[in-house]
Amino acid sequence: MVISLILSSCGDDSQFRITGSIEGLGTRHVYIMYVADGTVNRFMTTAIDGKFVIDGVSNDYTVV
């Protein structure tokens, strides 16, 4: 399985976007979790043909 990610920032310094591709995933849900401003954030999106995009907000660097 090959996972590729592209990280980019959106409108301001607190927003980020993760664009990814997971080879062989097909159409399934993708979940991310990260801590920002003392809160655990969990998001879900649907990967179609293994490709997905998730937007998040953090005022500081974080691990997703």
**The two three-digit tokens of residue 13, written as one number:** 């310094």
Q: What percent of the chain has pLDDT over 90?
A: 42
Residue 10 in this model has a pLDDT that exceeds 70: no
Q: Residue 1 burial by CB count (10 A; 0-12/13-18/19+): exposed, middle or buried?
A: exposed
User: Quick check: pTM over 0.75?
Assistant: no
The string of pLDDT tens digits covering residues 14-30 is 888 889 999 999 999 99
Output the pLDDT for position 16.
86
State CA 25 to chain mean position distance.
Answer: 15
pLDDT band at 63 (very low <50, low <70, confident <90, very high): confident
Length of the chain in terms of residues written: 64
